[in-house]
Structure 1
Amino acid sequence: MVDELQKTNCSICCCTFTSKMLTVTFMILLTIAILLGNLVTLVVFLGSKRFCTPQGYLKASLAVADLAVGVLVVPFSVYVEIFLMLKETSTEWEVDNLFSDYFQPCMVIGTVYAGCTLVSISTIFLLTIERSIAILKPLHREAVITRKRTLSLIGISWFASFFLAASPLIFSEGIVLQYSPCSRMCNFALVAGRLPQNGWKILLLFPAFDFTLLGGTVAINILSFSSIRQYSKQRKLLAKSDRGCRLSPPSFSDIKAAKTIATLTLAFTASFSPIAVFVVGNVLGCQWCDFSFFAFWILTSNSCWNVIIYSVRDQKFRQRALELLTASKLAASTDR
Structure 2
Amino acid sequence: MATTDAPTTLAPDECVPSEHSFHRALRATYIGLDFLLTLLGNVLTIVVTRKVEEFSDSTKVIITSLAVADLGVAFVAATSLPVEILGKWIFPEWVCAASFITFYIFTTVSVMMVIVMTFDRLVAIVRPLRYALILPKHRSVIAVVIVWLACTGGGMYTTFTNNIVYNRCSAVCMTTGRNIVASIVSVLLFYVIPLALIMMMNVKILLIARQHARHIGRPAVTITSTDDAGQPTILRRPRSVKGKAVGVISLVTVAFAVSWSVYQAKLLHGSVSGSSDAFDEWLEFSAIWLGLTNSWWNVIIYSVMNRSFRRHTRSVLFGCCPRCPRPSEIIPIETVSVNLRSNPPG
Q: Normalising by structure 1, what TM-score?
A: 0.79
Partners of 1:119 and 1:161 within 8 A in 2:
yes
Q: Distance in 2 between matches of 1:271 and 1:212?
A: 16
1:213 aligns with 2:213: no
Greater share of helix: 1
Task: Please give the secondary structure, in 1, of the residue aligned with 2:170.
Answer: coil
For residue 295 of structure 2, the aligned residue among 288, 294, 303 is 303
CA contact 2:18–2:24 (8 Å) conserved in 1: no
1:276 aligns with 2:256: no
**Larger radius of gyration, structure 1 or 2?**
2
Measured after TM superposition, the shift of residue 53 of structure 1 is 1.9
Q: Does the 8 Å CA contact 1:135/1:255 hold for their aligned counterparts? A: no
Matched, 1:42 2:43: no
Percentage of matched positions with identical amino acids:
26
Residue aligning to 1:111: 101
Q: Is the 8 A contact 1:128 1:258 kept in 2?
A: no
By how many angstroms is 1:158 displaced? Answer: 1.1
* 1:80 alignment counterpart: 83
Checking the alignment, whether the CA contact within 8 Å between 2:52 and 2:308 is kept in structure 1 is: no
Offset, 1:49: 5.8
> What does 1:195-234 correspond to in 2, within 5 Å?
201-210=181-190, 211-233=192-214
CA contact (8 A) 1:180 1:187 kept: yes
Letter in 2 for 1:288: F
Distance 2:212 2:29 in 1: 50
Partner of 1:176: 163
Partner deviation per Cα, 1:178-220 (whole Å, 9 max, x = no partner):
1101101011114xxxxx7x5x632333211122011001001
Cα shift at 1:303: 1.2
* Cα distance in structure 1, aligned partners of 2:265 and 2:163: 21
Q: 2: distance between equivalents of 1:236 and 1:305? A: 31
1:48-87 equivalent positions in 2, closer than 5 A: 51=55, 53-70=57-74, 72-84=75-87
Gaps of at least 5 residues in structure 2 are 1-6, 218-238, 321-346
CA shift for structure 1 position 8: 4.0
C-alpha contact 2:266 2:287 (8 A) present in aligned 1: yes
Q: Which amino acid aligns with 2:176?
A: A
User: What secondary structure sits across from 1:14 in the alignment?
Assistant: coil
Contact 2:69 2:109 (C-alpha < 8 Å) held by counterparts: yes
RMSD (Å), alpha carbons: 2.5
| Greater RCO, CA 8 A, separation 6+ | 1
Change (3 A) 1:289 1:110: farther
Cross-structure match for 2:341: none
Structure 1 unaligned spans of 5+: 90-94, 191-195, 238-250, 329-336
Contact 1:112 1:162 in 2 (8 A): no
CA distance 1:219–1:82, change in 2 (3 Å)? same
Structure-2 change in CA distance of 1:51 and 1:236 (3 Å): closer
Which residue of the partner structure matches residue 255 of structure 2? 267
Report what 2:338 is aligned to. none
Please say if residues 168 and 203 of structure 1, whose CA atoms lie closer than 8 Å, have aligned partners that are also in contact: no
Number of equivalenced pairs: 287
Equivalent residue letter for 1:83: L
